[in-house]
Amino acid sequence: MTIKYNNVYIEDASTVAGYYESFSPYSKYFDKIYKKDFYFGEKSLEKAETKLFKESIDILLKKCNLKPSDIDVLIGGDLLNQITSSCYGAKDFNISFLGVYTACATTGEEILIASNLLENKDVKRVICTTSSHNLSSEKQFRNPVEYGGPKPMTSTFTATGGASILLTNNKKSIKVESITIGKINDLGVKDANHMGAVMTPAAADTINTHLKDLNRDLSYYDLILTGDLGIFGKEILKEYMSKEYKVKLKSNYNDCGAMLYDLSKQKEITAGGSGPVCSALINYGYILKMMKEKKLSHVLLVPTGALFSPTFLFQKENILSIAYAISLEVV
């Protein structure tokens, strides 16, 4: 399902990043960086993540010279059980709230819901926010890092950060042109340390559907950017799309997970970044800046999510995946 929009624009966005992300080749595009530790003055990892969620909204409101009461709806989602950092991060703003969960595809789902809300004239401004935290994620989905479990090379590294985007139906220079809502994919992968492989079929299916629905080919876009497949997942996607859909991803394709870290220097990060904020840091920091400067004009963002339930993995179920495709255009 692909929906076209005529009246949805990006007003601005904000990014807050953590220690490992401070070494990113794209770190100069982040609004704020925490370099000291992983707690940011909070008493728990979950509260630290909540702070990133909250701060990205504070920064965005300040950038746009707006108050919380100027925002009609706040959409939040993250990786924690009961999307805790979203709920607790949102509570003090007193804005009508929607909570979503599609793991690392969160920003895609959020922008879709926001865009539909904004087609109604009574809704003027919607903020979409997400966060992730490397240590709160490891603790919840695998083991606390202090346990020292070794990681295979294919493991992606959950990014630490918070990121927000403000969408509006007032005309601005970047437009949400269309969005493809992905389906849940299951290619039979059970390896929680190879999320790139898990998410490949969802990315491929959604990109293919997007191109078919709109009768476009890849060359329509200056850049196609998948969510967080990482360096191995990125190569798997190229091969998979070529074999499965006869679509050849070329130099206008990249992956946010492969881009976020400097893998030549950050040796402890083997396969690249992941987590919902991974693609948000690249997209809301670097990509929007490039679009504002008209260095990119047509961009397809494809946030990918692994719907990974530790409970269901213990029960020998596969890990599912989903992806959304968001077409942005400079107007």
Phi, psi of 49 (to 5 degrees): -65, -40
* Cα–Cα distance, 132 to 76 (Å, whole number): 12
Closer CB to its own copies, 157 or 308, in the complex: 308
Distance of closest approach, residue 275 Cβ to its own copies, in angstroms: 14
Min CB(113)–its own copies separation in Å = 6
Question: Does 192 participate in binding its own copies (rule CB under 8 A)?
Answer: no
Q: Which is nearer to its own copies, 27 or 116 (CB)?
A: 116
Taking the CA of residue 170 as centre, how many other CA atoms within 13 Å lie in the half-sphere pointing to its CB?
Answer: 6
Stretch that binds its own copies, among 28-36, 184-192, 222-230, 296-304 (CB under 8 A): 184-192
Tokens 């979503």 locate to 100
Q: Which residue in 12, 21, 46, 177 binds its own copies (CB under 8 A)?
A: 46
Q: Is residue 4 within the footprint of its own copies (CB under 8 A)?
A: yes
**Residue 204 · residue 240 · CB < 8 Å:** yes
Residue 181's identity, in one-letter code, is I
Build a one-symbol-per-residue string for 140-179: x at contacts with its own copies by CB under 8 A, - elsewhere.
Answer: ----------------------------------------
Binding region for its own copies (CB under 8 A) out of 18-26, 83-91, 162-170, 191-199:
83-91
Query: Min. distance of Cβ 300 from its own copies in angstroms?
Result: 17
Q: Angle formed by the axes of helices 195-213 and 230-245, to 10°?
A: 40
**Which of these ranges, 32-40, 51-59, 228-236, 302-310, lies near its own copies under the rule CB under 8 A?**
302-310
Site residues (CB under 8 A) for its own copies, limited to 100-139: 100-103, 109, 112-113, 116-117, 119-120, 122-123
Amino acid at 101: Y
Instruction: Tell me how far apart the terminal alpha carbons of the chain are, to the nearest angstrom.
Output: 24
- Report in angstroms the alpha-carbon separations of 65 from 11, 19, 71, 206, 320: 11, 28, 12, 36, 40
Torsion of CA 88, 93, 94, 99, to 10 degrees: -50
Query: Both tokens of residue 72?
Result: 């009609």
91: left (phi over 0), alpha (psi -120 to 50) or beta: alpha
Site of interaction with its own copies (CB under 8 A): 1-4, 43-44, 46-47, 72-73, 77, 80-84, 87-88, 90-91, 94-103, 109, 112-113, 116-117, 119-120, 122-123, 181-186, 307-312, 315, 317, 320, 322
